[in-house]
Amino acid sequence: MKLIFASQNKNKVLEVKSLMPPSIELLSLSDIHFNEDIEETESTIEGNALLKARTIYTKTQMNCFADDSGLLIDALDGSPGVYSARYAGEPKNDEANLQKVLHQLSGIENRKAHFKTVMALIINGKEFLCEGIINGTIISAKKGANGFGYDPIFVPNGCSKTFAELDLKEKSTISHRALALQKMISILNNLE
Ligand code: IMP
Protein backbone atom coordinates (compact mmCIF):
# COMPACT_ATOMS: atom_id res chain seq x y z
CA MET A 1 0.00 0.00 0.00
CA LYS A 2 1.17 3.52 -0.82
CA LEU A 3 1.10 5.90 2.17
CA ILE A 4 1.93 9.61 2.04
CA PHE A 5 3.69 11.23 5.01
CA ALA A 6 2.42 14.83 5.00
CA SER A 7 5.68 16.38 6.15
CA GLN A 8 8.26 18.60 4.42
CA ASN A 9 10.90 17.48 6.96
CA LYS A 10 13.29 15.12 5.11
CA ASN A 11 14.85 13.75 8.32
CA LYS A 12 11.50 12.76 9.72
CA VAL A 13 10.53 11.06 6.46
CA LEU A 14 13.78 9.04 6.43
CA GLU A 15 13.41 8.04 10.08
CA VAL A 16 9.80 6.91 9.60
CA LYS A 17 10.65 5.09 6.35
CA SER A 18 13.20 2.92 8.15
CA LEU A 19 10.57 1.76 10.64
CA MET A 20 7.68 1.03 8.28
CA PRO A 21 6.58 -2.55 7.55
CA PRO A 22 7.66 -3.78 4.07
CA SER A 23 4.04 -3.77 2.82
CA ILE A 24 3.98 0.05 3.08
CA GLU A 25 5.50 2.20 0.33
CA LEU A 26 6.08 5.52 2.08
CA LEU A 27 5.89 8.62 -0.11
CA SER A 28 6.97 12.11 0.92
CA LEU A 29 5.26 15.33 -0.17
CA SER A 30 8.10 15.93 -2.60
CA ASP A 31 7.55 12.44 -4.09
CA ILE A 32 4.02 13.58 -5.00
CA HIS A 33 5.25 17.07 -6.05
CA PHE A 34 3.29 18.85 -3.32
CA ASN A 35 5.28 21.94 -2.45
CA GLU A 36 2.70 24.17 -0.77
CA ASP A 37 2.99 25.04 2.92
CA ILE A 38 0.08 23.77 4.99
CA GLU A 39 -0.63 26.46 7.59
CA GLU A 40 -1.06 25.08 11.11
CA THR A 41 -4.06 27.15 12.18
CA GLU A 42 -5.62 24.88 14.81
CA SER A 43 -5.30 25.48 18.57
CA THR A 44 -4.39 21.90 19.51
CA ILE A 45 -1.69 19.38 18.52
CA GLU A 46 -4.43 16.89 17.51
CA GLY A 47 -6.16 19.58 15.43
CA ASN A 48 -3.03 20.48 13.48
CA ALA A 49 -2.12 16.84 12.79
CA LEU A 50 -5.64 16.21 11.47
CA LEU A 51 -5.67 19.45 9.48
CA LYS A 52 -2.46 18.46 7.64
CA ALA A 53 -3.61 14.88 6.98
CA ARG A 54 -7.08 16.01 5.79
CA THR A 55 -5.52 18.60 3.46
CA ILE A 56 -3.44 15.94 1.73
CA TYR A 57 -6.25 13.37 1.66
CA THR A 58 -8.66 15.88 0.14
CA LYS A 59 -6.15 16.89 -2.54
CA THR A 60 -4.91 13.41 -3.44
CA GLN A 61 -7.55 10.90 -2.26
CA MET A 62 -4.54 8.80 -1.19
CA ASN A 63 -3.95 7.18 2.19
CA CYS A 64 -1.77 9.45 4.30
CA PHE A 65 -0.75 10.64 7.74
CA ALA A 66 0.64 13.77 9.39
CA ASP A 67 2.24 14.46 12.75
CA ASP A 68 2.37 17.35 15.16
CA SER A 69 4.29 17.61 18.44
CA GLY A 70 4.94 19.94 21.31
CA LEU A 71 6.27 20.37 24.84
CA LEU A 72 3.65 20.80 27.56
CA ILE A 73 4.80 22.21 30.91
CA ASP A 74 2.57 21.72 33.97
CA ALA A 75 3.47 24.98 35.75
CA LEU A 76 2.76 26.92 32.52
CA ASP A 77 -0.70 25.36 32.08
CA GLY A 78 0.48 23.23 29.16
CA SER A 79 2.46 25.93 27.34
CA PRO A 80 4.25 26.13 24.96
CA GLY A 81 2.13 23.19 23.69
CA VAL A 82 0.84 23.65 20.16
CA TYR A 83 2.93 26.84 19.90
CA SER A 84 6.25 25.09 20.75
CA ALA A 85 7.97 25.82 17.43
CA ARG A 86 7.43 29.60 17.63
CA TYR A 87 7.05 30.19 21.39
CA ALA A 88 9.40 33.20 21.38
CA GLY A 89 7.86 34.57 18.17
CA GLU A 90 8.85 34.72 14.50
CA PRO A 91 11.17 33.67 12.96
CA LYS A 92 11.26 30.20 14.53
CA ASN A 93 14.26 30.06 16.93
CA ASP A 94 14.98 27.01 19.11
CA GLU A 95 17.42 28.85 21.41
CA ALA A 96 15.06 31.78 22.05
CA ASN A 97 12.18 29.35 22.74
CA LEU A 98 14.22 27.40 25.26
CA GLN A 99 15.46 30.57 27.02
CA LYS A 100 11.88 31.83 27.28
CA VAL A 101 10.87 28.60 29.02
CA LEU A 102 13.84 28.77 31.42
CA HIS A 103 12.99 32.38 32.24
CA GLN A 104 9.31 31.60 32.86
CA LEU A 105 10.24 28.70 35.13
CA SER A 106 12.91 30.52 37.14
CA GLY A 107 12.11 30.19 40.84
CA ILE A 108 9.32 27.70 40.14
CA GLU A 109 9.58 24.38 41.92
CA ASN A 110 7.20 22.30 39.80
CA ARG A 111 9.32 21.34 36.76
CA LYS A 112 7.08 18.57 35.42
CA ALA A 113 6.54 18.46 31.65
CA HIS A 114 5.82 16.10 28.81
CA PHE A 115 6.43 15.91 25.10
CA LYS A 116 3.46 14.83 23.03
CA THR A 117 3.18 13.69 19.42
CA VAL A 118 -0.06 13.02 17.60
CA MET A 119 -0.05 11.17 14.29
CA ALA A 120 -3.28 11.53 12.31
CA LEU A 121 -3.73 8.64 9.87
CA ILE A 122 -6.36 8.53 7.11
CA ILE A 123 -7.00 5.18 5.42
CA ASN A 124 -9.77 5.07 2.78
CA GLY A 125 -11.38 8.08 4.45
CA LYS A 126 -11.27 6.58 7.96
CA GLU A 127 -9.37 8.68 10.53
CA PHE A 128 -7.17 7.37 13.35
CA LEU A 129 -5.31 9.42 16.00
CA CYS A 130 -2.15 7.89 17.52
CA GLU A 131 -0.66 9.62 20.55
CA GLY A 132 2.81 9.28 22.07
CA ILE A 133 3.74 10.91 25.38
CA ILE A 134 6.99 11.00 27.33
CA ASN A 135 7.01 12.48 30.83
CA GLY A 136 9.97 14.27 32.35
CA THR A 137 11.28 17.42 34.01
CA ILE A 138 12.71 20.74 32.85
CA ILE A 139 16.14 21.43 34.32
CA SER A 140 17.40 24.93 35.11
CA ALA A 141 20.26 25.18 32.58
CA LYS A 142 21.00 23.61 29.19
CA LYS A 143 22.89 20.30 29.00
CA GLY A 144 24.01 18.37 25.91
CA ALA A 145 24.51 19.22 22.26
CA ASN A 146 22.46 16.65 20.33
CA GLY A 147 18.94 16.90 19.02
CA PHE A 148 16.91 20.07 18.54
CA GLY A 149 14.24 22.25 20.10
CA TYR A 150 13.85 21.83 23.85
CA ASP A 151 16.08 18.70 24.03
CA PRO A 152 18.84 20.34 26.16
CA ILE A 153 16.45 21.18 29.03
CA PHE A 154 14.27 18.02 29.08
CA VAL A 155 15.20 15.01 31.23
CA PRO A 156 12.88 12.03 30.67
CA ASN A 157 11.66 10.27 33.83
CA GLY A 158 13.93 7.36 34.80
CA CYS A 159 16.87 8.86 32.90
CA SER A 160 19.80 10.89 34.25
CA LYS A 161 20.53 12.65 30.95
CA THR A 162 18.71 15.29 28.91
CA PHE A 163 17.37 14.36 25.47
CA ALA A 164 20.32 16.37 24.08
CA GLU A 165 22.81 14.12 25.88
CA LEU A 166 21.34 10.98 24.30
CA ASP A 167 22.38 9.90 20.84
CA LEU A 168 19.72 9.80 18.14
CA LYS A 169 19.26 6.04 18.44
CA GLU A 170 18.76 6.18 22.22
CA LYS A 171 16.31 9.09 21.95
CA SER A 172 14.35 7.55 19.11
CA THR A 173 13.64 4.35 21.02
CA ILE A 174 11.89 6.20 23.87
CA SER A 175 10.65 9.44 22.32
CA HIS A 176 7.07 10.66 22.05
CA ARG A 177 7.41 10.43 18.24
CA ALA A 178 8.56 6.79 18.43
CA LEU A 179 5.66 5.88 20.72
CA ALA A 180 3.07 7.46 18.41
CA LEU A 181 4.70 5.80 15.41
CA GLN A 182 4.58 2.35 17.09
CA LYS A 183 0.84 2.79 17.64
CA MET A 184 0.33 3.82 14.03
CA ILE A 185 2.38 0.90 12.71
CA SER A 186 0.31 -1.53 14.76
CA ILE A 187 -2.87 -0.08 13.16
CA LEU A 188 -1.29 -0.46 9.69
CA ASN A 189 -0.28 -4.04 10.45
CA ASN A 190 -3.82 -4.91 11.49
CA LEU A 191 -5.67 -3.41 8.51
CA GLU A 192 -7.89 -5.85 6.65
P1 IMP B 1 6.94 19.19 15.24
O2 IMP B 1 5.44 19.26 15.19
O3 IMP B 1 7.45 17.79 15.36
O4 IMP B 1 7.58 19.95 14.12
O5 IMP B 1 7.37 19.92 16.60
C6 IMP B 1 6.99 21.26 16.90
C7 IMP B 1 7.98 21.87 17.87
O8 IMP B 1 7.90 21.17 19.13
C9 IMP B 1 9.44 21.79 17.46
O10 IMP B 1 9.79 22.88 16.64
C11 IMP B 1 10.15 21.84 18.81
O12 IMP B 1 10.21 23.17 19.29
C13 IMP B 1 9.21 21.06 19.70
N14 IMP B 1 9.58 19.62 19.71
C15 IMP B 1 8.87 18.60 19.16
N16 IMP B 1 9.51 17.43 19.33
C17 IMP B 1 10.65 17.72 19.98
C18 IMP B 1 11.74 16.91 20.44
O19 IMP B 1 11.81 15.68 20.25
N20 IMP B 1 12.72 17.57 21.09
C21 IMP B 1 12.71 18.91 21.31
N22 IMP B 1 11.74 19.70 20.89
C23 IMP B 1 10.69 19.12 20.24
Q: Whose CA is nearest to atom 8 of ligand 1?
A: 70
Query: What does the pLDDT look like over 98-119, one tens digit per residue?
Result: 999 999 999 999 999 999 999 9
Query: What does the pLDDT look like over 64-84, one tens digit per residue?
Result: 999 999 999 999 999 999 999
164 backbone dihedrals φ, ψ, rounded to 5°: -75, -10
Provide the angle, in degrees to the nearest 10, between the axes of the packed helices 176-189 and 10-19: 50
C-beta of 16 in contact with ligand 1 (< 6 A): no
C-beta of 159 in contact with ligand 1 (< 6 A): no
pTM for this entry:
0.95
Q: Which domain does 54 fall in, by range?
A: 2-191
3-state DSSP call for residue 85? helix
Query: What does the pLDDT look like over 4-14, one tens digit per residue?
Result: 999 988 888 88
**Domains held by the chain: number:** 1
What CATH code is carried by the domain that includes residue 23? 3.90.950.10
- Beta strands across the sheet bearing 25-28: 25-28, 2-5, 64-73, 112-123, 126-138, 154-156
- The amino acid at residue 103 is H
The predicted pLDDT at position 191 comes to 87
C-beta of 178 in contact with ligand 1 (< 6 A): no
